[in-house]
Structure 1
Amino acid sequence: MSWEPGLGLPFLPGCAFRDPTKTSFHRSQTLGYRNGFAFSRLPTVGVGGERLYVNQLSQAQLDELSNKGPTLTYGQGKRAPPLGFIPAHVAFDKKILKFDAYFQEDVPFSTEEHYRIRQVAIYYYLEDDSMCVIEPAVQNSGLLQGKLLRRHKMPKNDHGDHYHWKDLNRGMNITMYGRTYRIVDCDPFTQVFLESQGIELNPPEKMVFDPYTELRRMPMRKYDPPADFGPLKQFLTYDKQVLRFYAMWDDTNNIFGENRPYIIHYYLADNTVEVREVHQQNDGRDPFPVLIKRQRLPKTFVDKKKTFPSCVLEISDQEVLEWYTAKDFAVGKSTALLGRIFFIYDCDEFTRNFYRDKFGITDFQPVEIKKKSPEEVPQVIPPYNGFGILEDSLQNCFSLLPKPPRKDVIKMLENDHKVLRYQMVLESPNPEDRKRRFILSYFLSDDMISIYEPTVPNSGIIGGKYLGRTRVPKPGSTTENITYYEPSDFTIGSTIEVFGHRFVITDADKYVLNYMESNAESFPAATLQSLRDHFHPRQVVKETANSDIATLGTSRQELDELIMQVQEELKLHKYLNNKNIWEAFFQCDKDGSGVLDKANFLALCDSLSVPTNVLLVNKLIDLCSWGEDKINYRDFLKAFPCDLHPGVEAQDQQ
């Protein structure tokens, strides 16, 4: 195979190579548009941009066609088809005329400007002859800018005509909705389009700017700093350099006051001071980090009048003679900042180096702050108010959610339904209260006491429950050391105090003696012996009374005659007070048995000035005697008539 010039190298192995002149390797487009219709065409360029000669006419054929005139072979010639119709929305799609314009707006309520110039852009859409007016947004103008007139056909006059692009030109006024716009210029596309349509454009005008806006854009006056160390040089030199001091505010003189730590920052860049509070975990304070915000702090004020409104106006240089500087802060000294005194006890390493290089100060010995130990506040338990059980009420002083006191369950189970009963009389100066009888019940299961007063008909006193079931503390016991009444405290003749009322125990149940004898190791010997002495003499008296019941009838008449004789004898002793005699004997007989010891009886008669040395009185005493050392004082009191005790005779008859 031979090689021919112009045909390239033979396509043989080793002879093929890439042509660097070829840069395009895509296939040519075979689809075209004519008069708005798509049609297919033969490609004229092959892959790589090489021209194809197969689908094209030769130069001789083209010359023949150009010189040959059309001739009709036969028949009438055909008319050429009309040109394709292109609608306006297709022909003028996205073709917009833009005009630069402005309008003048009056500003009636302003002293700085009388009118305002607002620049706008007028757009004319060729596809539907609509227009719109848009004002470019100006930063910080304070006006509602943007689209002033929406897109629509602008009315030209009152006859229903609308603006057309033929009505628009440079250097003219156009009025839309009562507002006159001055068109000063247009864009290049608009100029080319109008000139292509045979419209002669006016020369462009300069855009008018708003005078007030231009005034605001004027550069501000610049003040040159002095030649020496000025604020700018100070800022550039000491920027981000801060002195740090550790201070303490002593507020212990006030109520609930304490020593509170603070950090004082002094900014060298602008001589401002900031005070920050140091918070600790669970310190109970609001987490406000800054006590005094960063500001210049005045040190010395100018003498000003009392009428100066200092609480309204801010502090300026005219009211301050001297401001705080770095020289006013030192370790070991106190500084007053806005009325609060801070003691500086230490500083950081940068502050030490600054003072050492700037002022030559080398003494930075930190001061040790001795914290006062808080005083221990003793827990004062309030006095018992009388409501509920003391242990139960005491739990309210120890916890917000009080728990009931623990109970001895074993003791409650062992002593369930075991009750000790005693008879008491009220110790009172009122004679009516001495006749009242009470029954005290002591519950061994929980050491509680209840008092019941039997109802006495026609006594004028309502009986029933006198004290509910509760624990009764002993007199003199406190809330810290509380002691309650126990069975060992109840002896015959003993006095107990129940919430301010004093009672005397006069009798007890037989079950009390049996229970104490069966548990003698748990009770004092004096308590047990008191009950034994109380029940044994009563049995002796009862036996003596049974033996003398036969002779009682014979001696009753003799006793009545002797009492009448004694009454006649005692009329001579007018100083005797029968009422006091009756009250004294009943008060001495605490158990209400009607029998007294002879020695006590005689001592009581001597204290009451009863004439026992009279023969008739001695005979009456002998007749009222029971045995050798007992006397029935009730028979003896019949010689002293008194209306205060009408129930004594009824008791004697029983």
Structure 2
Amino acid sequence: MSSHPVHGLPFLPGNTYRDPTKSAFHRTQTLTYQNGFTRPVLPTVGIGREPITANQLSQAELDELANKRPTLTYGQAKQAPPSTFIPAHVAFDKKVLKFEAYFQEAVPISQNEDHRVRKVFIYYYLEDDSMSVVEPPVENSGIPQGTFIKRQRHPKNDNGDPYHWKDLNTGINITLYGRTFRIVSCDQFTQDFLESEGIELNPAEGIPSDVYTELRREPNRTFSTPSNFDKLKQFLTMDRKVLRFFSLWDDSDSMFGETRPVIIHYYLVDDTVEVREVHERNDGRDPFPVLMKRQRLPKSIKDLKDTFPNCVLEISDKEVTEWYTPRDFNVGSHVTILGRKFFLYDCDTYTREFYQANLGVEPAPVDVEKKTEEEVKQEIPPYNGFGLLEDSLQNCLTLIPKPPKKDVIKMLENDHKVLRYAAALDSMNPEDKGRRFILSYFLSDDMISIFEPQVRNSGIIGGKFLERSRVPKPGSSIDDPSYYGPEDFHIGAVVEVFSHRFIITDADEYVLNFIKANSHQFPSKVLDSLERHLHNLPQEGAGALSTSDLRETTD
């Protein structure tokens, strides 16, 4: 039930009365749906079902005003076609009117000011006729600023009618929650929108100045403070700003010296210099990152007496007449730091922009890349005759020789596969005539072994003539080694084994079968010579290879 105060009496308990006939105290619904869209509806009754008579038109009157046309002199007036309905939240979506305003706040407990002027922005949202007030933050104001009044509808009278954009203009006062705001100006979009709707804007006004704020504002300085004493400004403006130079330290004049790449950092915050050495992988040096720690570098020093204790006392600012500055570091020139000479050949992007903006110099990089030296071809000494060619080559490649790599797959595929041939020694010595040899070729590792069967009363001790080893062809070298293979053995072929010449006279049937199975790997003359010889075997004792002799060929 609503309560009404009696006119002329204060609003206190006992001075009001209640109407027992009223039972509904809710607000009427102001939104409805039409064609699937929401649209606003003007309320006809207020709280407690009290009728609202101000600014109320019936639906019939609204339709008549929308469809009414001027009466024609001749003929009857035509009914205007109904316009397409567009909801407000669609037509005015993201369209906001912006007004600049201010309000005065009283300061009763301060001796320096009696009021304070606070600037705000008033935003009017056309889609739902809501308003918000935002106060822009002011640095070091000490006042919580930001959103002053949240977005909502604000009543403009006692009847609860909200503010409409037609009620806003420049040069007027509006009251929101007991605080009066003075609108002084608006943005261009707001001006165009209001003028398009037939509203004439008042002249723009200015925001009055706050006396106390003006007093707190620091006056413009008319003098320049020496940079030696303005260290706080240098720290605030130059913090984390570093000049980076790429340079070379030429130490080739000293014993075992060389040219080393280094990076020089110049810190603008306190005019200190740091030198870092650039390490490369496997350069043989300990990876110490800092060659010279960060410190100020004196450029010129007063003439000190001989009694000055340099070993125990550092040079102070009194002895230094000039320090290093960015002007002393020029790309393409040398700079001396603590007795060491550094050549600056390039800098980074920030350093280049700093020199262009402050010193008017554009550093140009210098090419310091060394020409590629021609590699000295390694000369391998001639073969000395000891061991295999691969073993002798390993002695030339590494200090600790390693065994040559073997073809494991070939060894597994050709294990226990041996080609046996009968051979005769080609020698001018008459004692060597009639000597027979069995030459075995091992397919697993391409090695050859030679065995001489024992013959009674021959005066020659038979047995192993050549251990299992790889036999190079005549004219073979370490650079281009060439070894005997199974394609080099045929009837009548001459094989030179370490200055001994052997003539192939016979072979067993396994050799013929192996060559037939792998005929694509052998020349045709090898297969032809073996077939002609094995199909027309000579008499035993004429150099033929017997089965008993083959069984004696063991390592």
Quickly name the TM-score band, shorter chain normalised: 0.3 to 0.5
Higher helix content, 1 or 2: 1
Select the structure of larger CA radius of gyration.
1
TM-score (normalised: structure 2): 0.39
Task: Tell me the TM-score normalized by structure 1.
Answer: 0.34
Greater length-normalized contact order (CA 8 Å, ≥ 6 residues apart): 2
